[in-house]
Chains A and B, each alone.
Chain A
Amino acid sequence: MSPQPSTAAAAAAGDRVPLGSRRPSVTQLSRRGGILRHPVFWLTLVFSGLMIAVPLHGNNVALREDLILVAVAVILASNLNLMIGYTGYVNFGHIVFYGLGGYVGLYLATVRHWNLILAALTAGASVSLLALIFGAGILRLRGAYFALATIGVLVAVNSFVSNFDPWGRSTGMYVSFDSYAPLGGPMRALWITYILIIVVMALSMILSLAIKKSKFGLGLFAIREDEDAAVVLGINARVFKAIIYSVSAFLPAVAGTLMFYKNGMIDPSIAFEYMLSLEGIVMLMLGGQGTVVGAALGGGLYERLRSYLLTSSRLSNFHLVIAGGLLLLVVLFAPGGLIGWLYRLVPRAKKVIE
Chain B
Amino acid sequence: MIDGLLIGSVYGLAAMGLSLIWGVMDVINLTHGAVIALGMFGMYLLFTAFHLNAYLLLLPVIAIGLIFGTLVYWTSVHWVIGRPQLSSLLSTFAVNMIIIGAGTAIWSTSPYNVNFSLPGFTVGLYTFTGNHMAAASAAVIIALALELFLYRTRPGKAIRAVADNREAAELMGISSTTVLALAFAIGIALAAASGALVSTLFPFTILSGGSYQLKSFVVTVLAGLGRPLGALFAGLLLGLLEGAVTPFIAVSWIPLIEFGLFVIVLIAFPKGIFAKAAA
Question: Do A and B form a real pair?
Answer: yes
- Residue numbers of A with Cβ under 8 A of B are 88, 90, 137-138, 140-141, 143-145, 147-149, 151-153, 155-156, 158-160, 162-163, 170, 274, 278, 281-282, 285, 314-315, 317-325, 327-328, 331-332, 335
Question: How many residues does chain B have at the interface if contact means C-beta atoms less than 8 Å apart?
Answer: 40
Chain A contacts of B100 at CB under 8 A?
A: 320, 324
Q: How far is the CB of B215 from chain A (nearest CB, A)?
A: 10
Q: How far is the CB of B56 from chain A (nearest CB, A)?
A: 33
CB-CB contacts below 8 Å: B235-279 with A: 250, 252-256, 259-260, 262-263, 266-267, 270
Asked if B252 contacts A278 (CB within 8 A), the reply is no
At the interface, yes or no: B102 with Cβ under 8 Å from chain A? yes
Q: State in angstroms the CA–CA spacing of A162 and B252 once bound together.
A: 8
A331 partner, pick from B28, B87, B253, beta carbons under 8 A: B87
Q: A152-B262, A328-B94, A328-B98 are in contact. Are A159 and B253 (CB under 8 A)?
A: yes
Q: How far is the CB of A294 from chain B (nearest CB, A)?
A: 15
At the interface, yes or no: B91 with Cβ under 8 Å from chain A? yes
Chain B contacts of A324 at CB under 8 A?
A: 94-101
Q: State in angstroms the CA–CA spacing of A332 and B87 once bound together.
A: 8
Chain B contacts of A143 at CB under 8 A?
A: 84-86
At the interface, yes or no: B202 with Cβ under 8 Å from chain A? no
Q: Output the residue of B79, B85, B97, B254 with the most chain A CB within 10 A.
A: B97
Chain B contacts of A151 at CB under 8 A?
A: 214, 217
Shortest beta-carbon contacts, A-B, top 6? A320-B101, A324-B97, A321-B101, A324-B98, A159-B256, A328-B94
Q: State in angstroms the CA–CA spacing of A144 and B29 once bound together.
A: 11
At the interface, yes or no: B105 with Cβ under 8 Å from chain A? yes
Q: How far is the CB of B267 from chain A (nearest CB, A)?
A: 6
Chain B contacts of A149 at CB under 8 A?
A: 262-263, 266-267
Chain A contacts of B47 at CB under 8 A?
A: none
Chain B contacts of A170 at CB under 8 A?
A: 252
Asked if B259 contacts A159 (CB within 8 A), the reply is yes
Asked if A328 contacts B86 (CB within 8 A), the reply is no
Asked if A141 contacts B267 (CB within 8 A), the reply is yes
Chain A contacts of B87 at CB under 8 A?
A: 331, 335
Q: State in angstroms the CA–CA spacing of A32 and B180 once bound together.
A: 52
> Could you list 24 examples of A-B contacts with CB < 8 Å?
A90-B89, A141-B267, A141-B270, A143-B86, A144-B28, A145-B266, A145-B270, A149-B263, A151-B217, A159-B253, A159-B256, A160-B256, A278-B97, A282-B94, A324-B94, A324-B96, A324-B100, A324-B101, A327-B94, A327-B97, A328-B76, A331-B80, A332-B79, A335-B87
Chain B contacts of A160 at CB under 8 A?
A: 256
Asked if A148 contacts B104 (CB within 8 A), the reply is no
Q: State in angstroms the CA–CA spacing of A50 and B217 once bound together.
A: 46
Chain A contacts of B76 at CB under 8 A?
A: 328, 332
Q: How far is the CB of B236 from chain A (nearest CB, A)?
A: 21
Chain B contacts of A319 at CB under 8 A?
A: 101
Chain A contacts of B217 at CB under 8 A?
A: 148, 151-152
* Number of A-B residue pairs at CB separation under 8 A: 123
Q: State in angstroms the CA–CA spacing of A105 and B65 once bound together.
A: 46
Q: State in angstroms the CA–CA spacing of A134 and B153 once bound together.
A: 46
Q: State in angstroms the CA–CA spacing of A324 and B102 once bound together.
A: 10
Chain B contacts of A141 at CB under 8 A?
A: 266-267, 270
Q: A144-B89, A147-B89, A331-B90 are in contact. Are A315 and B105 (CB under 8 A)?
A: yes
Q: State in angstroms the CA–CA spacing of A256 and B255 once bound together.
A: 24
Describe B's contact surface by its main secondary structure. Answer: helix
Closest partner residue, chain A, to B28 (CB atom): A144
Q: How far is the CB of A306 from chain B (nearest CB, A)?
A: 11
Closest partner residue, chain B, to A137 (CB atom): B267
Asked if A317 contacts B105 (CB within 8 A), the reply is yes
B105 partner, pick from A152, A281, A318, beta carbons under 8 A: A318
A320 partner, pick from B104, B266, B267, beta carbons under 8 A: B104
What 1/0 flags go to B194-237 for Cβ under 8 Å of A? Answer: 00000000000000001000100100010000000000000000
What 1/0 flags go to B62-93 for Cβ under 8 Å of A? Answer: 00000000000000100110001111011101
Q: A143-B86, A158-B255, A331-B91 are in contact. Are A282 and B263 (CB under 8 A)?
A: no
Asked if A327 contacts B90 (CB within 8 A), the reply is yes
B266 partner, pick from A148, A158, A321, beta carbons under 8 A: A148
Chain A contacts of B259 at CB under 8 A?
A: 152-153, 155-156, 159
Asked if A321 contacts B263 (CB within 8 A), the reply is no
Q: How far is the CB of B25 from chain A (nearest CB, A)?
A: 12
Closest partner residue, chain A, to B257 (CB atom): A159
Asked if B97 contacts A138 (CB within 8 A), the reply is no
Asked if A156 contacts B97 (CB within 8 A), the reply is no
Chain A contacts of B80 at CB under 8 A?
A: 331-332
Q: How far is the CB of A131 from chain B (nearest CB, A)?
A: 14
Q: How far is the CB of B224 from chain A (nearest CB, A)?
A: 13
Q: State in angstroms the CA–CA spacing of A145 and B221 once bound together.
A: 9
Chain B contacts of A332 at CB under 8 A?
A: 76, 79-80, 91
Chain A contacts of B90 at CB under 8 A?
A: 90, 281, 285, 327, 331
Chain B contacts of A325 at CB under 8 A?
A: 94, 98
Chain A contacts of B85 at CB under 8 A?
A: 143-144
Q: Output the residue of B80, B84, B221, B259 with the most chain A CB within 10 A.
A: B259
Asked if B101 contacts A318 (CB within 8 A), the reply is yes
Closest partner residue, chain B, to A162 (CB atom): B252
Closest partner residue, chain B, to A153 (CB atom): B263
Asked if A320 contacts B86 (CB within 8 A), the reply is no
Q: State in angstroms the CA–CA spacing of A1 and B262 once bound together.
A: 37
Chain B contacts of A322 at CB under 8 A?
A: 101
Asked if B95 contacts A328 (CB within 8 A), the reply is yes
Closest partner residue, chain A, to B84 (CB atom): A143
Asked if A88 contacts B263 (CB within 8 A), the reply is no
Q: State in angstroms the CA–CA spacing of A152 and B258 once bound together.
A: 9
